[in-house]
Structure 1
C-alpha cells in the first residue's frame, strides 16, 4: 500500500465533554473529515467521485480509546489503508496528539452506486489511486 495519509485538526472547545476531553462520539466525526481529505488527496473532491458513479458507506466501525485529546490540542489522524477488496476498503485509523496515542480502530467501507446504494466493485482507477 502507499504512504499513510495523515490529517491534522485542532480540537474545538465544543467537542469536549464535562471531563475536559473530546467526547468519544466525536472521533467518528473526526474520522469522517479525515477520510474525506484522504479521498481529496488521492482521488479528488468527493463530489467528483460521486459524479463518476462511486460512493462509500460505513459498514462497520470499531474504535479503542486509550487517552483523551483536550481542547486546543492538534490531533493527527493517520489513515493507513489496510485492505482493498472488490467492493470493500478497510482503514485502521490512529489518532495521536504528538507522541501520545489517543485512539485507534478499524473502519470497513463498502463501495456503492450513489443512485441505488447497492454494492459496486471499485474501479481500477480508484484502486490505483488508493493503493499507489
Structure 2
C-alpha cells in the first residue's frame, strides 16, 4: 500500500502579495518545508549526509491554479513518483480543502558530498521511500 505524505501549514499575512494571495515564490519554500517533514518521517537525512551523500534540486516546476489566502490551511501532498538510480521525483499538490491551488514536479539528484557530481541513491534511502512510491498521474 502506498503512503501519501501530506504536510499542513497556515498561510501567514507576510506571505501574501498585493493581490491578497500567497506570493508565487513561497510555494517552493512551502515545498521545501514539506520535503523536510517527509524526510523526517521516512528516514534520517543527516545520517545520509554524514555517510557522504547529499540531495540537491535539479529541476522544479510549479503550475499555479488559484491563490491561497491569508490564514488558510494549505495541505501539501507529496507523492513520490520516481526512484531512479541517482534521482527521485516528487509531484507536490497544494490544496486548500478540496481546491487545487498549485501542483508541480521537483527532481532531486543525489550527489557525492566530497567529490561532487551524481551518486547512486543509497539503498537505505531507496528502502525508506519505497512505500511512498506512487504511479505518475
Give me the whole-angstrom Cα distance separating, in 1, the residues matched to 2:91 and 2:119.
Answer: 22
**Aligned residue in 1 for 2:81:** 82
Using structure 2 for the length normalisation, give the TM-score. 0.91
SS in structure 1 at match of 2:33: helix
1:1-132 maps to which residues of 2 (within 5 A)?
A: 2-44=2-44, 46-132=45-131
Give me the whole-angstrom Cα distance separating, in 1, the residues matched to 2:96 and 2:41.
Answer: 22
How many residues in Structure 1 have an aligned counterpart in Structure 2? Answer: 131
1:81-127 Cα offsets, whole Å, 9 max, x none, are 00000001011000001111100011001011223331110111100
Q: CA RMSD in A?
A: 1.2
Please list every run of at least 4 consecutive aligned residues from structure 1 whose deviation after the TM superposition is greater than 3 angstroms.
none
Give me the whole-angstrom Cα distance separating, in 1, the residues matched to 2:85 and 2:6.
Answer: 24
SS in structure 2 at match of 1:55: strand
Structure 1: 5+ residue stretches without partners: none
Does the 8 Å CA contact 1:2/1:130 hold for their aligned counterparts?
no
Using structure 1 for the length normalisation, give the TM-score. 0.94
